[in-house]
Amino acid sequence: MMTAEAITNAGVLDLAEMSVRDANATLQAATEGAFTLRNPGGRHALACGLMHPVSVTVEGHAGYYCGGMNKEAEITIRGNAGTGVAENIMSGIVRVTGDASQSAGATGHGGLVVIEGNASARCGISMKGVDIVVGGNVGHMSAFMAQAGNLVVLGDAGEDLGDSIYEARLFVRGSVKRLGTDCIEKEMRPEHVAIVAGLLDRAGLFADPSEFRRYGSARRLYNFKIDNVGSY
Amino acid sequence: MCGIVGLYLKDEALQPRLGALMAKMLAEMTERGPDSAGFAVYRDGPPVPTLSCLGPVGFDWDAAAASLASATGTTVDVERIADHALLRVAGDLRAARAHLIDAFPAIDVLATGEAIEIFKGVGDPMEVARVFGLEGRSGTHGIAHTRMATESAVTIAGSHPFSTGPDTCLVHNGSLSNHFLLRGFLEARGEKLQTENDSEVAAAFLSWRMREGDTLKEALEAALKRLDGFYTLTIGTRDGFAVLRDPIACKPAVLAETDQWVAMASEFRAIAQLPGVEHARIWEPEPGVVYSWGGEGMRAAA
């Protein structure tokens, strides 16, 4: 049996043999190193609340809220993720090699969320500075009330993209089924192409940045003052 | 919140293990619905017309069977399990159901059909599974439900699945906001509802549409227009099952398919223990899209 001391900086945590609570306590206590979570079995709240630059690989499908509140850690889910993956991420990277369910990256303040497959409804809901790159499609109501950050979608977006959006930037390569209230298409200027190119590079996904179209707020719905634009 | 699971077997070799596989799936959904539970199993083997019934403590099932035999002019056998009874009849199941509901207000007819059997109870879902022997049951497919009640009382009859017609049943995660109006509409068209539950109204709606000639797919498409509220529905039929989520996808669902089975659950963890899951195609059903599986009859229906 592994001791807590032996796995402080590296190790395999097998959820067939230990509880999620114990596994998370080990990950949260580590300040560096690489860990593998085996047999996740769709359990909820895996690798949550990590505050140090550790690396975690989840070998299989995760349940709800995996990688929630992440700060500095790099988490890779080798499979699908349930509702709210990387919710309220502060920094670091959360990567899903499969699909993500609803509300991926919800309320994220910073860091990078990469969904290599599809994300379903409400991806990036209320995002507050996080960057989200989705290799496939996003479902309806994505970037709902998004406040800051970038959402890059290599596939298509569902209905009501960017509904009630504040100041986040939305980049979609494919079709948008319907734009949400107060969300409009905007000019794709060279600096936006550069943003998309940089995010694709960080995400390790390949696409021509010039193929993306940009969407954002028409600023008719909230009380926007041009004098304050520098604050955003 | 509620939990739903469904398992449709493609590989006949798994049929003896249907109940055991479903019990593990149901156990994982206990946290989503700890107040009551129920399951429907579609038996393998030859058709046996059966009414799955629930009655109060001390209910005289033999008297009910005798009354039913006399009213329908057929023989009726009784198999009792706890507060349930399976009445095996020959003849018109719809007429038998109507007779029991009219003549014995104390009982609930949970299901009628040639393959379906439904059992339900309040309390710990695994205790409900144990009392009714889910683990030992064989069959072709089944659906099950763990309930966290929102719209009506925690009662045995208010537990899911709800029967939607011969060999057809439904489980529901969500809540309907127009069930009261729809109830009156459906009762005026001859549907016999037995509880105050909103999900039973959804079941009766599908039953009414299919009695009017809709295929299951058409009935579910009509439901998309008429049911107001949140729902993930899983529907069992004689030889298949279907899944439908409301257009804004308020309630979760995961589908998984291998060469041996198709599984549906509210969350992946209920599917995680199925044999061969590491090779399954796993996806989240799109909102407002009807998904269905089954044999020739089911394909024709869908």
B182-221 pLDDT per residue, tens: 999 999 999 888 888 999 999 999 989 988 998 888 999 9
Residues of A in contact with B269 (CB under 8 A): 41-44, 63
Q: What is the DSSP letter of A135?
A: S
Residues of each domain in chain B carrying CATH 3.30.70: 48-113
Q: What was the pLDDT predicted at A8?
A: 57
CATH number assigned to the domain with residue range B2-45+138-301, chosen from the 4 options 3.40.50.1970, 3.60.20.10, 3.40.190.10, 3.40.50.1820: 3.60.20.10
Q: Tell me the residues of chain A between 169 and 228 that have a Cβ less than 8 Å away from chain B.
A: none
* Pairwise CA distance, residues B259 & A64, whole Å: 27
- Give me the mean pLDDT over the A225-230 stretch: 76
At residue A5, does pLDDT exceed 80? Answer: no
Contact (CB<8Å) B287/A140: yes
- Compare B185 and A221 and report the one with higher pLDDT: B185
Q: What was the pLDDT predicted at B194?
A: 86
* Pairwise CA distance, residues B18 & B69, whole Å: 33
**A230 confidence band (pLDDT: 50, 70, 90):** confident
Q: Which CATH class is domain B48-113?
A: alpha beta
Tokens read off for A139:
């479902």
Contact (CB<8Å) A140/B249: yes
Tokens read off for A32:
């560096």
B162 sits in which H/E element: strand B162-165
**A232 confidence band (pLDDT: 50, 70, 90):** low
User: Is the Cβ of A137 closer than 8 Å to some Cβ of chain B?
Assistant: no
**A9 confidence band (pLDDT: 50, 70, 90):** low
Tens digits of per-residue pLDDT, B78-125? 999 999 999 999 888 989 999 999 999 999 999 999 999 999 999 999
Tens digits of per-residue pLDDT, B210-261? 889 988 889 999 999 999 999 999 999 898 889 999 999 989 999 999 999 9
Tokens read off for B57:
């403590």
Q: What was the pLDDT predicted at A225?
A: 75
Please list, in sequence order, all residues whose beta carbon lies within 8 angstroms of the beta carbon of residue B136, skipping any fewer than 6 positions away. B19, B20
Terminus-to-terminus CA distance in chain A, angstroms?
Answer: 51
- Kindly report the backbone phi and psi dihedral angles of residue B255, in degrees, each rounded to the nearest multiple of 5, phi listed first: -115, 145
Tens digits of per-residue pLDDT, A139-185? 999 999 999 999 999 999 999 999 999 999 999 999 999 999 999 99
Q: What was the pLDDT predicted at B294?
A: 77
Tens digits of per-residue pLDDT, B6-60? 999 999 999 999 999 999 999 999 999 999 999 999 999 999 999 999 999 999 9
- Compare A184 and B166 and report the one with higher pLDDT: A184
Q: Note if B53 is an active site residue.
A: no
Tokens read off for B299:
């394909």
Give a three-class secondary structure readout of B168-236.
Answer: EEEEEEEEECCHHHHHHHHHCCCCCCCCCCHHHHHHHHHHHHHHCCCCHHHHHHHHHHHCCEEEEEEEE
Residues of each domain in chain B carrying CATH 3.60.20.10: 2-45+138-301
